[in-house]
Amino acid sequence: MKNIDVDKLLQDIFDDDVSLDIKGRFEEKIEEYGVTRTKALKLLAIDKDVFEDIVNGTAKQPNLIHVVKIAEFLEVNVDEFIQVVLKNQNAENIATIDRARKVKFLMKNFDIKTLTKEGFFENINDIDLLVDRVLHYFGYDSIRQFEEELVAPLYSRTKRKFSDKMKDFWVRSAYQTFKKVDNSNEYNRERLKDVIINMKPYSQDVKNGLYTVCRALYNIGVTVIFQNYLPMTHVKGATFIINDKPCIVLTDYLKKYPTIWFTLLHELHHVLFDYDAIRTNKYHLSDDEDLFLIEDKANNFAREYFVTKNDFDYINPYINNPYMVERFANEKEIHPSLVYSFYAWYQNELYDKKYFNVFKEFYPDYKTALSKLNPIAWNADSVKESSDKIKAVFEIN
């Protein structure tokens, strides 16, 4: 006998219409075999009352061995027969099965504890509310639809850790958002080069700079969205290829204004130079050590774009002079916080000195930069509602 696909079986109980007249089939078989009903049940070693309870759905806990024996006698697929038996169960038993199915679905796919802390879930004791929240957020009608449309993560392992579940959630949210935004502009690689060349000065405008750059990117077929950082994912950004167009998702990881600009340039490097590889693999999570792309090239590209090693050498003696740093930043056409941020990186990389928190009073509030872009928060909205807001931002005349 083949293995029983329990997952499919539980799904089919609630999602599929299956019609099988067990009693009628039994009558056909005893006539075909030339035996009486009593003789058949005796040969199967099944009591008459037990048989009646199984086929009528009144057995409180149907004996699996009896169920399999009946299925074999009737020459019916075991999965299909079990499905019918379970569908015939009383409302109480069906509710118990349904709850078990929903619990498995939630435990398999979500880190409920962390998502509750982030405000995505509210009442962790109500299984139905948890499932409804997930389905509503992603825009699915059923658990089956959710699982059939799963975006297979590149970093899957046999035993999935909680961090993998969080990454699955993060990736699925971004993927669904990009699909619903559905940028209608054609991607143009040459125009992207022009945008990159000219976007540096916009870092100086904390309130409108990112907004302006992201709108310009959208108009050449590159969609950029912001999702709030999720604990345990360690993801600053990612690049997707959806409908043959590049899509970038950024987070407020580290919650620093310079980090957002650095990550944007990092991801744009992947769009320019790793497009085919990402298209083959659907997406790439930056800084994920399990993935196929070499991150050093993208990091160097973003770093050299803003502050080179020669720039560091020049500003190093003046770093504690805000006037000199500001003047230098104006010459480089970047926000001063980027000078401080990359200075700290070079100090750590070259001399193993920690300056990462020394100049934080010169960092603007990153939330100001994101305010016009409607970052996706986990405690509100569905993917559709978030996507509608994003489209309104990018497609405004």
Backbone dihedral angles phi then psi of residue 247, each to the nearest 5 degrees = -135, 135
Contact 170, 332 (CB under 8 A): no
From 65, 89, 113, give the residue that closes a domain. 89
Rounded distance between C-alpha atoms, residue 98 and residue 103, angstroms: 9
173 and 200 fall within a common domain: yes
Write down the residue that tokens 């982030």 correspond to: 118
CB 283 within 8 A of CB 240: yes
Residues 200, 114, single domain; the answer is no
| Beta carbons of 239 and 271 less than 8 angstroms apart | yes
> Does 80 lie in the same domain as 201?
no
Question: Do 173 and 314 reside in the same domain of the chain?
Answer: no
Of the candidates 127, 202, 175, 129, the one whose C-alpha atom is nearest the C-alpha of residue 284 is: 175
> Which of 232, 222, 124 is closest to 170 using CA atoms?
232
Of 41, 58, 89, the position where a domain reaches its end is 89
pLDDT of 157 reads 37
Tokens at residue 327, please?
A: 């003047």
- The CATH number covering residue 36 comes to 1.10.260
Interior angle at CA 213, CA 371 and CA 217, nearest 5 = 120
Question: Is the distance from CB of 131 to CB of 109 less than 8 angstroms?
Answer: no
Q: How are beta strands 283-285 and 245-250 bridged, if at all?
A: unpaired
User: Is 196 part of a structural domain of the chain?
Assistant: yes
Number of structural domains found in the chain? 4
In a domain? residue 1? no
What's the token pair of residue 93?
A: 């038993």
The reported pTM is 0.81
| Residues 264 and 388 occupy one common structural domain | yes
- Together in a domain, 228 and 292: yes
What is the mean pLDDT, run by run of 10 residues, along the chain of 397 residues?
54 59 87 90 90 78 86 85 75 78 91 93 88 95 82 44 83 94 96 97 97 97 95 90 95 94 96 91 72 78 96 97 97 97 95 91 95 90 93 84
Same domain? 111 vs 169: no
Structural domain that includes position 139: 94-150
Residue 155 and residue 145 share a domain: no
Say whether 175 sits in a helix, a strand or coil: helix
Q: Which of 89, 110, 129 is the last residue of a domain?
A: 89
One domain for residues 62 and 167: no
Quote the radius of gyration of the chain (alpha carbons, Å): 29
The pLDDT assigned to 24 comes to 87
Strand pairing class (223-226; 245-250): parallel
**Do 218 and 118 belong together in one domain?**
no
Co-location of 40 and 130 in the same domain: no
Query: Domain for residue 209, yes or no?
Result: yes
- Report CA dihedral (28, 34, 38, 39) to the nearest 10 degrees: -130
Mark whether 202 and 166 lie in a shared domain.
yes
- Name the residue among 251, 283, 301, 294 with its Cα closest to residue 153: 283
Task: Please name the helix (run of DSSP H) or strand (run of DSSP E) that holds residue 6, with its range, or none.
Answer: helix 6-15
The per-residue pLDDT for 187 is: 96
Instruction: Identify whether 322 is part of a domain.
Output: yes
Residue 4 falls in which region: left (phi positive, over 0), alpha (psi -120 to 50) or beta: beta
